[in-house]
Chains A and B, each alone.
Chain A
Amino acid sequence: MHNSITLGQYYPVKSPLHSLDGRMRIFVTLIYMIMAFVCNSAASFLMLALFSLVLIFISRVPFGVIMKSIRAILIILLITFIMNVFFYTSDAEPLFEWWIFRLYTEGIVKAFMMAVRITALVAVSCLMMSYTATPIDITHSIEAIFEPIKFLREPIHSFSMMMFIALRFIPTLTDDTDRILTAQKSRGADLSEGSLFARIRNLTAIMIPLFVSSFRRADELAIAMECRCYHGGEGRTRMRTLHYRASDFVILALFVVYAAAVVWLNSIKIFGY
């Protein structure tokens, strides 16, 4: 039984963003995020939007795919926009006044900026952490980042090993769930009808066997790992060593230029914003 579940939403094309070293990826994404919060002028927000579009272009991930991740937050976006517009108070002359509502030009501009910030943050973090990198690359990179810090090494290693195994077992457990579902249905379990309460109660018929099977799998896996000399992160090496490439530094330079541009543009006002 092959299932088509893909971990994360990795979009397999070749691009400088796909081949980016994992540690550099986390670092530049952090720069991007911090700068997205530093933005406070219309010009710097324009820069933020422009730079995000440039990143999407470099990644060669189709724009429609990225839009999917934004569609998921459309409601949140709308609510924040409305909140920002209606709850903005100022001593200035309101643009529009009706009953208890007062709308200010500045409020609308601020709400608009907030919407741009959220959209850009979601789109780019999805792009950097999901569309162009596998979850396993990311866990490995986190481990590599904490490697030099001695007292953090072991807990981080254990954590990343756990994440790694959890991700690795998603397809296996999906198969198990399918199998149990079919088995229970063939015994007459009705899982799609009845009241909400009845349906939740029926779900135990799937959850219990699933728990039992995953505990058994975990047990066997632990033994198999021990038999292959696994003894934690101490003295362990890796076949694939992470190393920075020239293109990684080009990307880093791009992000640094973006950060500098944001700081500079913050001081430039267009129509007073």
Chain B
Amino acid sequence: MSYIKAENLCFSYDLGEGKKKKALENVSFEIEKGQYVAIVGRNGSGKSTLAKILNLVLEPDSGKLTLAGTEINDSITDAQLLDIRRRVGVVFQNPDNQIIATVVEEDIAFGPENLGLPPEEIKKRVKTAIEAVGLNGFERSEPSRLSGGQKQRVAIAGVFAMMPECIIFDESTAMLDPIGRRDIMAIMKSLSQKGITVINITHLMAEAAMADRILVLNKGHFECSGTPAEIFSDTDLIKRAGLAIPQSAELVNELRRRGYDVGFGITPEECAGKIEEYYRSLL
């Protein structure tokens, strides 16, 4: 059974005066446990709405959502809801609005404290979480004095300390500089290697390329899903969904279109390797 299953999710925003704006229409997909998935789409594709539905902030108008083996519906109890929230953590875009305490380790302890764990267990988890995001030595720092990337790492540690099965990153790198973004991507990778299901909702294709699988949303519809190589080499799809693919991937796509069979590549290093390989094969 899949870990997250969405069946025909529909959602529309109420604009008042009887007007509605459709944000999601019949979106269906499945995510397996332990997968590293990126959900991509341009502005207005419905990915933020989908993120809010997965966070259980918004309720879909129709359709069925199953999270961590529990179907989300009106009959769900508070205890079940709490259990799902523990198992499926979320890291948001703005670190300033998700850090609660004024000391790093106390913020990380916030989640475990809410779970009612004994103090010794909380301390142990905080320590593990700090190590997992590489914030050693910052335990007693004030989050407001950290860089954006470090703050976001605090937020990740806060979720990690609840020992979740799945972490949803809702545009978590959008406010970061390239260095902060690189750090967060590395942490996503390591979380995925620890067996945690990672879902990265992003508009940056370079980030999506790191995932095992990409789900593409377009104008509120589920467009398709596939491996990064499959998605980025489909020039038609890229145009249709309005994705800005990495320039290196665009280069190899263009070369291929002009009849040079260089294969597929995504990252600059990979593409350079492919082109070099092709060039050598011509000699």
- Answer yes or no: are A and B bound together in one complex: yes
Number of A-B contacts (CB under 8 A): 82
Bound CA span A220–B93, Å: 10
Contacts of B110 in A (CB 8 A): 225, 228, 230
The smallest beta-carbon distance between A31 and chain B, in angstroms, is 29
Contact A239 B123 (CB under 8 A): yes
Interface-centre pick from A2, A167, A231 (highest chain B CB count, 10 A) = A231
B93-112 vs A, CB cutoff 8 Å, 1 = contact: the mask equals 01011101110011001111
Would you call A237 and B122 a contact (CB within 8 A)?
Answer: yes
Per the bound structure, the CA–CA distance linking A98 and B122 in Å amounts to: 73
The complex places the Cα of A171 from the Cα of B96 at a distance, in Å, of 11
- From B78-86, B201-209, B231-239, B258-266, give the one contacting chain A: B78-86
Q: Who on chain B is nearest to A229 by CB?
A: B114
Chain B residues whose C-beta falls within 8 Å of the C-beta of A236 in the assembled complex: 113-114, 116
B42-60 CB contacts (< 8 Å) to partner A: 55, 57
Across the interface, do A237 and B118 meet the contact criterion of CB distance under 8 Å?
yes
Query: When the two chains form their complex, are residues A165 and B98 in contact, meaning their CB atoms are under 8 A apart?
Result: no
Residues of B within 8 A of A227 (CB): 55, 85, 89-90
Question: Given that A220-B97, A239-B109 are known contacts, is A231 also in contact with B114, CB under 8 Å in the complex?
Answer: yes
Complex CA gap A239/B108 in Å reads 10
How far is A144 from B110 in the complex, measured between Cα atoms in Å? Answer: 17
Is residue B186 within 8 Å, beta carbon to beta carbon, of the partner chain? no
Whether, in the assembled complex, A241 has its beta carbon less than 8 Å from a beta carbon of chain B, the answer is yes
Interface centre among B85, B97, B159, by most A CB within 10 Å?
Answer: B97
B102 and A221 contacting across the interface, CB-CB below 8 Å: no
Chain B: interface residue total (CB-CB under 8 A): 37
Q: B112's closest neighbor in chain A, by CB?
A: A239
Assuming the A-B contacts A221-B98, A224-B97, are A229 and B92 also in contact, with contact meaning beta carbons closer than 8 angstroms in the complex? Answer: no
Q: Which residues of A contact B92 (CB under 8 A)?
A: 220, 223-224
> Which of A221, A226, A228, A237 has the most chain B CB atoms closer than 10 A to its own CB?
A228
25 residue pairs from A and B, CB less than 8 Å apart: A2-B145, A165-B100, A167-B102, A220-B94, A221-B100, A224-B97, A224-B98, A224-B100, A226-B85, A227-B85, A228-B100, A229-B82, A229-B85, A229-B162, A231-B78, A231-B82, A231-B114, A237-B113, A237-B117, A238-B109, A239-B105, A239-B106, A239-B109, A239-B119, A241-B119
Candidate in B101, B102, B105, B111 with the most chain A CB atoms within 10 angstroms: B102
* Cβ–Cβ contact B57 & A223, under 8 A: yes
Q: How far is the CA of A238 from the CA of B111 in the complex (A)?
A: 10
Chain B proximity of A2: nearest CB distance (Å): 6
A188 interfacial contact with B, CB 8 Å: no
- Interface majority SS (helix, strand, loop, mixed), chain B: helix
Q: How far is the CB of B274 from chain A (nearest CB, A)?
A: 41
Q: Are B116 and A235 in contact (CB under 8 A)?
A: yes
B115 at the A/B interface (Cβ < 8 Å)? Answer: yes
Which residues in B have their C-beta under 8 angstroms from that of A172?
96, 144
Residue of B nearest to A230 (CB): B114
The answer for the CA separation of A172 and B116 in the assembled complex, in Å, is 29
B126 at the A interface (CB under 8 A): yes
In the A-B complex, list the 8 residue pairs whose CB atoms are closest, starting with the nearest: A224-B98, A220-B97, A239-B109, A229-B114, A239-B122, A228-B111, A235-B116, A227-B90
B109 CB to closest chain A CB, in angstroms? 4
Are A229 and B90 also in contact (CB < 8 A) when A136-B102, A239-B126 are?
no
With both beta carbons as reference points, the residue of chain A lying nearest to B79 in the complex is identified as A231
Q: What 0/1 pattern do residues 84 to 113 of A give for CB contact below 8 A with B? A: 000000000000000000000000000000
Residue with the highest number of chain B CB atoms closer than 10 Å, among A136, A221, A224:
A224
For B97, what are the chain A residues with a Cβ–Cβ distance below 8 Å? 217, 220-221, 224
Interface check B41, CB cutoff 8 A: no
Query: A240–B106 contact, CB under 8 A?
Result: yes
Which A residues lie within 8 Å of B85 (CB)?
A: 226-229
Q: Which residues of A contact B228 (CB under 8 A)?
A: none
Picked from A168, A229, A241, the residue with its CB within 8 Å of the CB of B100 is: A168
- Whether the Cβ atoms of B162 and A237 lie closer than 8 Å is no
Please determine whether A168 and B55 come into contact, CB atoms closer than 8 angstroms.
no
Measured between beta carbons, the chain A residues less than 8 angstroms from B98 are 220-221, 224
Chain A residue nearest to B145 in the complex (CB): A2
Give Cα A168–Cα B143 distance, bound, in whole angstroms: 10
Considering the chains assembled together, what is the distance between the CA atoms of A80 and B57 in angstroms?
57
